[in-house]
Amino acid sequence: MPNGLLRYVNLLQGTDSHHGFSTGNTLPIVALPFGMNHWSAQTAEGRWFFSPKDKKLQGIRCTHQPSPWMADYGHFTVMANTGDERHLSPGKRSRAYKGEFSPASFKATLLNDGTTIEMAPTTRGAIFRFRFPEGVTGRVIIEPCAGESRMDRTPSGSPMGEIRGNSGGVPEGFAHHFVASFDRQPDRLSNFRGEELTEDIEGDRVGIVAEFEGGGEVVLRLATSFISGDQAHANLQEDGLQTSLETVVDLAERAWEWDLGRIQVESDDEDQLRTFYSCLYRTQLFPRVWHEQTPEGLKHRSPYDGGVHDGPLYTDNGFWDTYRTEYPLLALLQPDQLAEILQGWTNAYKEGGWFPQWATPGYRACMVGTHIDAVMADGIARGVTNFDVETALEGLLKHADQVGDPAGAWGRIGIEDYQKLGYVSTEHHESVARSLDYAYDDWCIAQIAQGDQKERLLQRAGSYENLYDPEVGFMRGKNADGTWLEPWNEFQWGSPYVEGGPWQSSWAVQHDAAGLIELMGGEAAFVAKLDRMLTTPPYFTTGAYGFEIHEMTEMAHGGFGQYAHSNQPVHHVLYLYNAAGRPWRTQKEARRVMDELYTPTHLAGDEDNGEMCAWYVLSALGLFPLTPGHASWTLGSPLFKRATVTLPNGKALTLEAPENSKENVYVRSVTLNGQKIDRLFLTHDEVAQGGTLTFTMSSTPDETITPAEARPYSMTSYR
């Protein structure tokens, strides 16, 4: 097992999930940070293809699945077995196993005969070492998980192929190409389908099996490409695979230690360390690299138009989730990496004509809002401008002004209503969620725009007020004629909301907390409402969903009333106490969430491309991006007595809380480099310049209400 910080990473965190209940809906991903390919143990077929409870292994899967709700593409498994019967299909070849999991390597011991499978990843490939018992026929099996495939041979007789299975979002002719080489010549190399050998090289789930008489050791090197078979062959030569398994493991461990080592935390609590570094690992997986290195520089085959283009591209991201915490964390720790990612998204716009709503690998219609607006605005606000900002703004303005895809894969559904009425009417599904998101997204675009465009968008950013019904005290669906949607039920989920109801959805005004406070009746009423959210029983009705979706079940078991930390819409809500001048309430409840809903093995709900874990990482540091798109961090309650963040400029930010403990969750005072901070936020520049941020902690709160000028940013207060 690895040493260093990797020893704290539990790949199984969040994997004990299923369709009806999520503790993360994660996979035990073995990969390099942001690697093009992820590798995971597969214990079952389908979208939930791994469970730590399963006792048998079907193979090691090359996967690009960002979420079970979005499914996989270009996916195939590698497996080994022995014996007189070939047993090629997943059900037949599965074997009882013992697994050893690390971000940098995986080892499986097959318990029926002691065969071992070891692997380590590169960015675009992997190296495998199989050790079969002596005197047996050992087999290495490569099989697509779904869809059409082609299994052929290189001129030297090595396996090569195309995996075409996908779940949408791909252009015509999509293929994941691979080239493999063995360190010894197979005695037989055959194609198969199901349990039968076949002469076919092309068809549904045609796989390939290599057989080695006498058993012993076999090394497989495999590289892939989304560009071509020739590029896969080049990747096999250039991706660090022409060396030993031990060297590839060492390089992968070094890459992970470097990334994890950006934040060094000190704690006597082993579970806290395991939770923190398991979460930090999850923030370094998505979005994934899609570009490849060629003699002419970086190139990629676009999932948006099918062509091969110059420059970077990334994919597998749901912006509805990740804008909230994942991208602000990247801006703090890895701004150069973020700049390349933002250029990649800008290239997606140039190739497809629109930014994606949910990219996997290309356009997918899922969720609401155009929250890449927030991703871009936040990066730029935090100083990440070394990409094509002008072209990015051009694409963002299309969101504000033009009609997009009717299905929602790009653009804003209901934009005509929003422009005409100041809200999306109930004629459109999820109308409240869309309206609030469009107002916030307009504010985000305004942070980049200038002149009249900026002012126009700022005016529209106040349109969230149009859906607040003071009679019921929540944001509410409104018909095109201006009447409220009937009947009213504060516990009803679904349309006009998304993955929540009024309690979870009415706070989505991250850009103007002060305006929202005023709208809801002032500070006292607002704080009382937040308090009731945390104490009201987690009742719900299924509404338009028609059945109990997993987010409802997770909220009911969460222990925080109507505050559903299991899903992203509420992830800023506890920090709204800061916006109302009650920081002790933020401190208490944020610490309670960290202590009760995050463990080394479980998360509160779907992890979603790093966002759920980035919430924990940032909250554990005592910093939170309440308003992505604004260059500030609001202050919370740090989890550790000491944490050191190594910043990309070579400086370090040390966060100290000497009196910190499970009881001492309240912050009595804060100093930065010895100077008292009498406000509830720091600018991004203050944080990025490093220094020592010291929190004085106590078991009792200081209930002095913070004056308005010392509270986090709000459009109403700071415009």
Beta bridge partners of 222: 126, 180
Q: What is the DSSP string of 433-497?
A: HHHHHHHHHHHHHHTT--HHHHHHHHHHTTGGGGGEETTTTEE--B-TTSPBPSS--TTB-STTS
Determine, yes or no, domain membership for 611: no
Chosen domain end from 549, 570, 591: 570
- CA 461 → CA 133, 435, 465, distances in Å? 67, 10, 9
* C-alpha closest to that of 323 among 455, 413, 443: 443
Nearest to 684 by CA among 637, 620, 618, 612: 618
Is residue 490 in a domain?
yes
217 DSSP β-pair partners: 131
583 belongs to a structural domain: no
For 447-479, write each residue's pLDDT tens digit.
999 999 999 999 999 999 999 999 999 999 999
Which residue range(s) make up the domain with 433? 418-570
Whether residue 213 is predicted with pLDDT greater than 60 in this model: the reply is yes
pLDDT of residue 205: 98
Task: Assess if residue 616 is contained within a domain.
Answer: no
Rounded to an integer, what distance in angstroms lies between the CA atom of residue 558 and that of residue 504? 14
Q: What is the pLDDT of residue 204?
A: 97
Q: Put residue 440 in one of left, alpha, beta given phi > 0 → left and psi -120 to 50 → alpha.
A: alpha
pLDDT for 476: 99
CB 616 within 8 Å of CB 599: no
- Span 157-168, pLDDT tens digits: 999 999 999 999
Q: 718 falls in which pLDDT band (50, 70, 90)?
A: low
Give the dihedral sign, CA 241/247/249/253.
negative
Question: Does the predicted TM-score (pTM) go above 0.75?
Answer: yes
Is the dihedral angle over the CA atoms 477, 479, 483, 486 positive or is it negative?
A: negative
Does residue 146 contact residue 205 with C-beta atoms inside 8 Å? yes
Pairwise CA distance, residues 167 & 708, whole Å: 49
In a domain, 305, yes or no: no
Q: Compute, in degrees rounded to 10, the torsion defined by CA atoms 454, 457, 458, 461.
A: -160
For the domain that residue 434 is a member of, what is the CATH number?
Answer: 1.20.1610.10
Enter the tokens of residue 506.
């009415």
For residue 44, give the CATH number of its domain.
Answer: 2.70.98.10
Number of domains in the chain: 2
Pair 511, 441: CB distance under 8 Å = no
Q: Is the pLDDT of residue 1 over 60?
A: no
pLDDT interval class at 671 (50, 70, 90): very high
pLDDT at 3 (0 to 100): 74
pLDDT in tens, 496-549: 999 999 999 999 999 999 999 999 999 999 999 999 999 999 999 999 999 999
Q: Residue 209 domain-assigned?
A: yes
Query: Does residue 16 fall inside a structural domain?
Result: yes
Residue 598 lies in a domain: no
Q: Tens digit of pLDDT for each residue in 558-591?
A: 999 999 999 999 999 999 999 999 999 999 999 9
- The residue among 260, 292, 319 that closes a domain is 260
Of 260, 289, 314, the domain-final residue: 260
Percent over 90 (pLDDT), the chain: 98
**pLDDT at position 717, please?**
83
The dihedral through the CA atoms of 354, 359, 360, 363 has a sign that is negative
